[in-house]
């Protein structure tokens, strides 16, 4: 009766969580079953096609998302006549799942308001049925549905195959589409989906970071190589960081921070990263083609994006660190 993979088929394997320590001393088979109050009865929810259900009141729900909008709807079928219709429009940022689950909530609320009678809600979307049957769903609307169903066990929910010609399902589908596509249709404000909020906040954060990065006055050498901020790791080794930031062991850096007398290399040139990587007489085996003055920024970017160049830089830094004294001018 219940297809595998759904929350429903797994619920009987969930261990009840409200045992007292005294009870667990006498653990029995029953402790492996869920607490009956935490779950809906298996007869209340069905993932089989309810298309052949033709007794009692039937309520059909549907959600729809088109290029123009998002809509949710339900309709009530008494015998063969549609006796009640409801539909609403949602924000374009809402998902079709949010529309489906809202339609189910509205259908359940409508069912609760009616005199107790045989009643089935038919939903063509298994995901919303599974959410509604899960007391711990992350979706607040799904948890509302669960509570209502739990306290009104006469209200049954069944899956129904979509677009199979069932009039109630066709009508709910039509109503949801109509609401989705009609501008100025009464709208239901619904919180935006988590996925949207996450993306939105990430973009905001990156934009703020980018502004600070562009306007800042530290890390300018790195800004040249990585002008665009990103959450992806750049995977630089320590040596590469030292090279691209122009930090230790370069005399040009040490002198700037009064850690060395001079920014000169022993060869007579200025001890910058580019000096050692391209022209210094002491590091010829690590040389790369030098940039012209105005092309320095491009040169750094090219080096940073080329694995052979990066390997050379790694080895160069090793060499510089091992032979530090060689590169400092003799004070005498």
Residues making contact with Zn ion (CB under 5 A): 265, 267, 269, 280
Which residue number, 141 or 316, has a Cβ lying nearer to Zn ion?
A: 316
Q: Which is nearer to Zn ion, 105 or 265 (CB)?
A: 265
SS (H, E, C) the chain: CCCCCCHHHHHHHCCCCCCCHHHHCCCCHHHHCCCHHHCCCCCCEECCCCCCCCCCEEEEEEEEECCCCEEEEEEEEECCEEEEEEEEEECCCCCHHHHHHHHHHHHHHHHHHCCCCCEEEEECCHHHHHHHCCCCCCCHHHHHHHHHHHHCCCEEEEECCCCCCCHHHHHHHHHHHHHHHCCCCCECCCCCCHHHHHHHHHHHHHHHHHHHHHHCCCCHHHHHHCCCCCCCCCCCCHHHHHHHHCCCCCHHHHHHCCCCCCCECCCCCECCHHHHHHHCHHHHHHCCCCCCHHHHHHHHHHHHCCHHHHHHHHHHHHHHHHCHHHHCCCCC
Minimum CB separation of residue 314 from Zn ion in Å reads 19
CB 250 within 8 A of CB 265: no
The residue among 73 and 254 lying less far from Zn ion, judged by its C-beta, is 254
Compute the least distance from the CB of residue 319 to Zn ion, in Å.
12
Nearest distance from C-beta of residue 269 to Zn ion, angstroms: 5
Q: Which is nearer to Zn ion, 280 or 303 (CB)?
A: 280
**Is the Cβ of residue 226 or residue 282 nearer to Zn ion in the bound state?**
282
In the complex, the smallest distance separating the C-beta of residue 325 from Zn ion, rounded to whole angstroms, is 13
What is the closest distance, in whole angstroms, from the C-beta atom of residue 287 to Zn ion in the complex? 11
Work out how close the CB of 272 gets to Zn ion at its nearest, in angstroms, rounded to a whole number: 10
Please, which residue, 179 or 242, has the CB nearer to Zn ion? Answer: 242
**Which residue lies nearer to Zn ion by CB, 91 or 263?**
263
- The token pair at 237 is 């080794």
The CB-of-244 to Zn ion minimum distance in angstroms stands at 19
């Amino acid at each position: 009766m219940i297809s595998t993979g759904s929350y429903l088929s797994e619920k009987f394997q969930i261990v009840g969580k409200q045992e007292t320590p005294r009870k667990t001393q006498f653990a029995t088979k029953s402790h492996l079953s869920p607490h009956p109050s935490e779950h809906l009865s298996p007869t209340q929810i069905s993932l089989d096609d309810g298309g052949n259900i033709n007794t009692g009141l039937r309520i059909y729900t549907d959600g729809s998302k088109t290029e123009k909008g998002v809509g949710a709807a339900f309709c009530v079928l008494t015998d063969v006549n549609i006796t009640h219709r409801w539909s609403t429009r949602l924000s374009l940022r809402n998902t079709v799942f949010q529309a489906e689950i809202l339609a189910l909530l509205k259908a359940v609320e409508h069912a609760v308001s009616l005199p107790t009678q045989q009643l089935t809600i038919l939903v063509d979307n298994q995901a919303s049925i599974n959410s509604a049957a899960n007391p711990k769903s992350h979706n607040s609307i799904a948890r509302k549905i669960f509570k209502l169903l739990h306290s009104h066990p006469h209200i049954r929910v069944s899956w129904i195959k979509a677009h199979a010609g069932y009039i109630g399902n066709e009508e709910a589908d039509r109503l949801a589409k109509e609401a989705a596509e009609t501008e100025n249709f009464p709208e239901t404000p619904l919180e935006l989906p988590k996925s949207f909020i996450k993306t939105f906040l990430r973009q905001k954060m990156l934009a703020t970071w980018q502004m600070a990065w562009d306007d800042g006055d530290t890390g300018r050498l790195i800004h040249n190589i990585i002008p665009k901020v990103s959450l992806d790791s750049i995977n630089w080794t320590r040596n590469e960081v030292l090279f691209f930031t122009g930090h230790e062991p370069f005399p040009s850096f040490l002198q700037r921070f009064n850690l060395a007398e001079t920014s000169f290399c022993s060869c007579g040139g200025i001890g910058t990263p580019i000096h050692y990587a391209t022209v210094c007489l002491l590091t010829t085996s690590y040389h790369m083609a030098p940039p012209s003055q105005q092309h320095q920024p491009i040169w750094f970017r090219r080096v940073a994006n080329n694995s052979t160049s990066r390997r050379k830089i790694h080895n160069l830094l090793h060499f510089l660190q091992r032979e530090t004294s060689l590169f400092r001018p003799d004070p005498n």
